[in-house]
């Protein structure tokens, strides 16, 4: 996506200092763990839905097509791309830990488990090991959240 073209739609000039600042902030955000974890979650949860839609489409449009091959290729692409977003995870990093605290919920845990299950099936165990570290932190965070007293909202 060309950000200059998008910003120009709203009257920003390529030479505008504010535009350059926004672009720099956006690029920095895209490198942050919070963005990467969000992309991972989005890829897995939306990917499962998307895969079902693609399989349904191809099964109706091309009856003789080997749907197993389409399914396998789709899974490979989805899980490989999702893993790309978390491959730089560092368990000792405060930034990664903080981002995981924000994403620690049942949906994110499900996405991690689905990804581990996929990579176990294709015997990519080094990826499973990294994802297991993420899973363990998410489980601890969820447990903390469940054990902490709920704050009451003021009326």
Question: What pTM value is reported for the model?
Answer: 0.75
Number of H helices and number of E strands within the chain?
A: 7, 0
Domain boundaries, the chain: 33-147
Distance CA 31, CA 15 (A): 24
- Contact (Cβ atoms closer than 8 angstroms) between residue 37 and residue 100: yes
Q: What is the pLDDT of residues 15-49, one digit of tens each?
A: 677 777 888 888 889 999 999 999 999 999 998 78
As a whole number, mean pLDDT of residues 114-135 equals 97
């Amino acid at each position: 996506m060309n950000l200059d073209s998008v910003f120009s739609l709203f009257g920003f000039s390529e030479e505008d200092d504010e535009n350059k600042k926004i672009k720099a902030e956006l690029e920095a955000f895209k490198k942050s763990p919070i963005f990467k974890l969000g992309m991972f979650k989005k890829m897995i949860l939306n990917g499962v839905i998307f895969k079902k839609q693609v399989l349904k489409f191809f099964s109706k449009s091309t009856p003789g097509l080997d749907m197993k091959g389409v399914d396998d290729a789709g899974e490979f692409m989805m899980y490989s791309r999702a893993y790309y977003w978390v491959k730089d995870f560092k368990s000792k990093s405060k930034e990664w830990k903080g981002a995981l605290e924000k994403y620690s919920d049942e949906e994110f845990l499900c996405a991690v488990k689905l990804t581990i299950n996929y990579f176990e099936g294709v015997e990519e165990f080094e990826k499973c090991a990294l994802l297991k570290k993420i899973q363990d932190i998410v489980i601890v965070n969820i447990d903390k959240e469940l054990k902490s007293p709920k704050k009451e909202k003021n009326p």
